[in-house]
Amino acid sequence: MKPHLIVLDLDGTLLTDEKVISEKTIQTLKQAEAQGHHIMIATGRPYRASEVYYRQLGLTTPIVNFNGAFVHHPGNRSWQTIHETISLPVVKEVIDAMQPFSVHNIVAEVMDDVYMHYHDEKLLDIFGFGNPIITQGDIRQYLQVNPTSLLIQANENTVDPIRRHLADVHAEVIDHRRWGAPWHVIEIVRHGLNKAVGISHVSKWMDIPRERIIAFGDEDNDLEMIDYAGVGVAMGNGIDRLKSIADEVTLTNNEDGIAQVLKERLHLS
C-alpha cells in the first residue's frame, strides 16, 4: 500500500475528554508508521499547547497550528515556515465593533505572546499553558504587531450575532470559527486560512496526493480539512454539520474512533 498522510485534530479527536491519547490509539498510530504511513497534527491550538502530544507520538512531520495560520516543522529549521497574521488595524476595528455586544473577553495571540483584554483567572489557566508572555489590559493599547489569531469570548446567545456581524463587515479580511462546547469562543484568523490550506502545503512537500490523505476531526474548524482529504472522517462526538460532509463517521474520541478507521482502511493487523 502506498504511503498515506494521516491528519489528526487534537481536542475532541485524538485526545479523550481527559486530554490524553489512549494507549490503543498510540499503538495503532505506531503500527501505521511502521507500515510507511505518515502522521501529522492539525489543530487550532498554538504550538506550545500541542508540542507535548507531538513529542509523545514521536512525530517527524510538520504541524499545522492556529487553524492554518502557522505551519512549521519542529525538527527541520530549513523547512519553509508559514505564518499568516491579521492586520493590526483590522484587529482594532473588530475590538471597537464588539462594544455593543455582550463580550466576556478578547484575547490576541502573537505566536507565544498572549494579550488579554480583561483579567480572567480561568482563561489565564488555559492560555498559560507553555508559559507564554501574558499582557493584560486594553489590547488596542498594548498590541503593537499583527497577531496570529484573535479570540472573542461571548455569551452563548451573542455568538451568532457577532459572527453575522463579522461576516457582514469583515468577510474579505478575516475568517472565523466557533469553539466547541462549553466554550462560547469565536476564533478569528486571516481570511483564506484554514487547516486544509496548511495540510495542502505539507502534502505537496511530502508528495502525497489528496486521495491518500485521511483526516480526522470533530468541530467547526475541521470542515475544510474533512472536505479536502481523500478520506474525511468525523468523530462520533462531532457536530452534525461535519458528519454531513464526511466520508465516514467513526466512534467517539473516548472510544478509539481513530484506531477503528485506520485498522480498517490501512489493513493494520
- Give catalytic residue positions: 9
Name every residue whose Cβ is closer than 8 Å to that of residue 23 and which is 6 or more positions away in sequence.
none
CB-side exposure of 196: number of CA atoms within 13 Å? 15
CA distance 235 to 258: 8
**Looking at residue 180, what DSSP letter applies?**
P
CA distance 5 to 36: 10
Q: Hey, what's the cell of 143?
A: 498590541
CA distance 89 to 145: 10
74-79 CB contacts, 8 Å cutoff, 24+ apart:
74/47, 79/205
Task: Give the E-state strand segments of 9-102 in sequence order.
Answer: 38-41, 63-65, 70-72, 82-83
CA distance 34 to 84: 34
CA distance 161 to 268: 47
Q: How many CB atoms lie within 10 A of CB 214?
A: 24
Q: Which residue has the cell 507565544?
A: 112
CA distance 215 to 101: 36
